[in-house]
A and B are shown apart, each in its own frame.
Chain A
């Protein structure tokens, strides 16, 4: 089943814009096209500033592309990033409920999964403290746990596996492998090309010039590393 179609997506920023004068236009990426079917796992690779995270934000419907079109066939997308936590002054529990409801779950469903989420994130009694008091690792755990326990149709993963202690990282990687094997649709952004080749079926290589390549993950990663 087709979930997402990206057609010639492009995002730009305008630098040095004044009130009545247009600034210099810089493309973060442009001309990116691909299709995402249910069960696909797509890795996105590219250098720093290639627009990988920006692409995920477009796919999640958070920002609009300046060029091209994104067609979402009714899929619920969940973006996982390092940020973690929506309202720093609210407790972890409130953040889970608010985030879960926005992903399209009822309050009862989220509360039903609450213990599971807290346990996986290993937050214990910290769950009722404001998220602003959490360490970076705790925030990432909260975010990863909420996004995985509440199953969205498409999981957009932005470098989350690189934080947290080794124990949690391994736990996440194991879970990710499970999910990808069991037909969870994933778009995975990483600087760790090896894990992209390992986890994903296909890979997309982008840089500020545009779309470099799209194809089987192992081949694309090899090309990228050779460049």
Chain B
């Protein structure tokens, strides 16, 4: 029914807005946390690796800026979308809603926040190292990260109602992924050559590396790696969507106990 799609779209839009403003109203510093949180993370890495361990090297701060921006977007997306189906337990006990919408709402709200971070990032880079033509590749890289985040988020959102342990597993995997994705180092510089390609199999490592290529180094991205990320994300997205669709009317039962 055409009219049904129309009101699910309304629900989607209103929910994104509500999540947006709820996050801000719960904390005293409100919207400032969106910027403050990655800024503090950046400061920690800079102090530990740049100042104390002296592992930074020239341009370290710019690599860090790019790494932290993409990382905090991914990590927030995963945390919010993993919880998205379970936290809507009350809603789905009372009214029917296509469950695929729930992770999509979380992903979209986080993408909007990330957009603000990206604009700040571009502003800082523009006034320090200056813009370059390769920046035009950035939308492609961001689109791929959105796709990858949506795909992973849908799968974990599906798993959580079945197993509450997923919450802890996601936290642990995210922590591991932060160290393995080259958030605070360049894989093609800091890692022995034999291991580089293995680390780059992690789509997030590829995305961060390519974002640095186009934003900081001014070189074009390696398209074969981006194609690889696209293929993996697409497969995961299809699996996640199918899982949620198949269990559409099963979640209310799981979550009512």
A contact residues vs B (CB 8 Å cutoff): 57, 60-64, 74, 78-79, 81, 83, 85-90, 94, 97-99, 101-107, 143
**Known pairs A63-B252, A88-B90; A103 contacts B11 (CB<8 A):** no
Query: Which listed residue (A60, A88, A90) contacts B18, Cβ 8 A?
Result: A90
B94 interfacial contact with A, CB 8 Å: yes
Across-interface contacts of A79 in B (CB, < 8 A): 94-95
* Assembled-state Cα–Cα distance A143/B93 (Å): 13
Known: A83-B94, A99-B95. A62 touches B252 (CB 8 A): yes
Contacts of B91 in A (CB 8 A): 86-87, 98
| Chain A residues, CB < 8 A from B3 | 104
Interface string of B30-44 (1 = CB under 8 A from A): 000000000000000
Q: A86-B94, A90-B22 are in contact. Are A63 and B14 (CB under 8 A)?
A: no
Q: Which residue of B lies closest to A90 (CB)?
A: B18
Size category of the binding interface on chain B:
20 to 34
How far is B166's CA from A145's CA once the two chains are assembled, in angstroms? 37
- State A31–B72 Cα separation when bound (angstroms): 52
Chain B residues in 8 Å Cβ range of A103: 95
Contact A102 B253 (CB under 8 A): no
B249 at the A/B interface (Cβ < 8 Å)?
A: yes
5 pairs across A/B with beta carbons < 8 Å? A83-B90, A86-B91, A94-B18, A98-B91, A99-B95
Structural contact, A98 and B94, CB atoms closer than 8 A: no
- Give A89's nearest chain B residue, CB to CB: B22
Q: How far is the CB of A139 from chain B (nearest CB, A)?
A: 10
Asked if B97 lies at the interface with its beta carbon under 8 angstroms from chain A, I say: yes
B95 near A101 (CB under 8 angstroms)? no
- Chain A residues near B195 (CB, 8 Å)? none
CB distance from B93 to the nearest CB of A (A): 6
For the complex formed, measure the closest distance between the CB of B4 and the CB atoms of chain A, giving whole angstroms. Answer: 8
B249 partner, pick from A64, A90, A98, beta carbons under 8 A: A64
Judging by beta carbons under 8 Å apart, are A98 and B93 in contact? no
With a cutoff of 8 Å between Cβ atoms, the chain B residues found around residue A90 in the complex are 18, 22
Contacts A86-B95, A102-B7, A104-B7; A63 near B249 (Cβ below 8 A) = yes
Chain A residues, CB < 8 A from B11: 98, 101-102
> Would A98 and B252 count as touching, CB distance under 8 A?
no
Asked if B222 lies at the interface with its beta carbon under 8 angstroms from chain A, I say no
User: Which of A57, A85, A94, A107 contacts B252 (CB under 8 A)?
Assistant: A57
Inter-chain contacts of A60 with B (CB < 8 A):
94-96
B117: shortest Cβ distance to chain A, in Å?
24
Q: Which residues of B contact A64 (CB under 8 A)?
A: 249-250
The 10 closest A-B pairs by CB, nearest first: A86-B91, A64-B249, A61-B96, A101-B10, A101-B11, A102-B95, A63-B252, A63-B249, A62-B252, A94-B18
A61 to B94, CA, bound (A): 10
**CB-based contact B92/A62 at 8 Å:** yes
Residues of B within 8 A of A101 (CB): 7, 10-11, 14
Q: How far is the CA of A4 from the CA of B4 in the complex (A)?
A: 18
- Measured CB to CB, the nearest residue on chain B to A80 is B94
CA distance in complex: A85, B94 (Å): 9
Residues of chain B within 8 A (CB-CB) of A143 are 94
B7 touches A62 (CB 8 A): no
Which chain A residue shows the least CB distance to B97? A102
**Residue in B7, B10, B93, B97 whose CB lies within 8 Å of A83:** B93
